[in-house]
Amino acid sequence: MATEGSADPADDPDMLVVRSKSARRRLDRAKALPTWGESEQQTRQRRTRLVKQLALESGFSRVGIARAEALPDHRATLQTWIDAGHHGQMAWMAKDVARRCDPGQVVAGAQAVVALALDYDTAQPHTGDLDGSGQDRLWVSRYAWGDDYHQVAAKRLRRLEGAVTRALQPELGERFRGPGGPERPFSAVRDFRWYVDHGPVLERVWAQRAGLGWQGRHSLLVDPRRGSYFFLAAVVTSIALDADEPMVDHCGSCRACVDACPTGAILPERLVDARRCIAHATIEVEGPVTAEIRALAGDHLFGCDVCQEACPYNRFSQPCGDPAFEPRPGLLAPTRAAVRAWAEPGGDAHLAGSPLRRRGVAALAELASNPGPASAT
C-alpha cells in the first residue's frame, strides 16, 4: 500500500517498468519537454502558434503559413514569362526556375513556408500630390523613402531565427528527423532558411497561399484590409506547421492599375513586362542611362507607385509607424537640382543605408537631367 506522499505505481504505468539508470534519465528528460503527452497534431498546433507569435514579436506586421509543395503550374507560367523576355535585365529570375517552384529543393524535407509581411506606408501624401511637384521635382517610390528594407527585414529575420531556435531546440534536439530523412541535429541554417527578395523563393505566391493577400493585376500582393504597401519575406522550414487558408482574389473586374500604368507594362495573367516597367528601368537596369530609359522614366527617379496608388484597396492603408520607413530628408519629391548635387563629393551622405544606393548617384544624377514626363514607347 502506498504511504502518504508516495505515488501509487498503478497511477503511473512507467513506474511498473524496470529501466536502467540511463533509460530513466532519458525518460525524465522526455517528460520535461513540452511535447510530452502531446499528439502530433497538438505539437504541430503549438509550434504553429509559437512561430507566429515570435514572428510578430520580431517586428513583422503579419504572418501566415503555407504547406510546402511543388508548384508545377507556377513553374510553367514563370518559364513562359522568362522565355518571352519579360524579366528584362533581372537575369537571376532565369536561374533556378525549378527550385523557385519547389521548396523541397531549397530545404530538404520542407514542410511549411512561413510568409511574412512588413508594412511600410507612412502618413505622408503621395509624391504626385505634394504641393510644388511637377517638372522640377522627381518621384521616389514610397518604399524607398526610408531605410533599405532588405537590411531591416534581414535583421528581423535573424531575430526570428534565433527566437525559434531557442524555443524549439530543446524538443527538436539532436535527433530531429525531417520527413523521409535521417535523424540529424536541428540546424536553423538547414531547417529554418529565410529569404527577403533573394534566393529561389516566390514570395508573392507563398504569401497568397498563406492567406496574407492575393496577387493583384499589377502582380503585387494586395491585402483587402491594408492595401499593398508592404514588403514580403519567407522562411522555408522542415518543421511541421499548420497551414492557413489561401486568400481569395478580390480584383473582380477592376482594371484601375492596368489603365493607370503610364507605359502599358501590365500584362494579362497578373504579370508585368519588366522591359516597359518604370520601376525596372530606374532600379534594375545597370549601366548608362539610355534614351529608352529616359523615355520610360520621365519624372520618376527611383521606382514607381502609379499602379499601387490607383488600386482602390490602398484607401484602407494605414501608416505603419515604423521609424525605419519614414522619409529621410530630401527623399520626398526631391528637386532635380538637389539630385544632381548628390553626385558631388560628400553630396550623398544622407543616402547611406538607403535603397537608392542600389542605382548609384551618378545614374540618379543623370536621370535628374531627364526633361520629359513618362510616356509609353
Instruction: Please list the active-site residues.
Output: 197
* Residues in the chain, overall count: 377
Alpha-carbon span 311 to 260, nearest angstrom? 9
Alpha-carbon span 82 to 68, nearest angstrom? 24
Alpha-carbon span 38 to 97, nearest angstrom? 39
Sequence-ordered alpha helix ranges (H) in 210-290: 256-260, 278-279
Find cell 537631367 and name the residue.
369
* DSSP-derived secondary structure letter, 200: S
Alpha-carbon span 216 to 222, nearest angstrom? 6
Alpha-carbon span 274 to 228, nearest angstrom? 19
| Phi-psi domain of 147 (left: phi exceeds 0; alpha: psi -120 through 50; beta: other) | beta
Cell readout for 205 is: 505566391
The beta-strand segments (E) located in 16-111 are 62-67
Backbone torsions φ then ψ of 114, nearest 5 degrees: -90, 115
Cβ proximity of 333 and 139 under 8 Å = yes
Alpha-carbon span 53 to 46, nearest angstrom? 11
* Beta pairing partners, 181: none
CB-neighbour burial class of residue 116 (10 A; exposed 0-12, middle 13-18, buried 19+): buried
Between the alpha carbon of residue 257 and those of residues 138, 319, 340, the distances in Å are 21, 22, 31
* Beta pairing partners, 236: 113, 193
* DSSP-derived secondary structure letter, 284: I
* DSSP-derived secondary structure letter, 207: H
How crowded is residue 367: how many other Cβ atoms within 10 Å of its Cβ?
Answer: 24
Cβ proximity of 143 and 308 under 8 Å = no
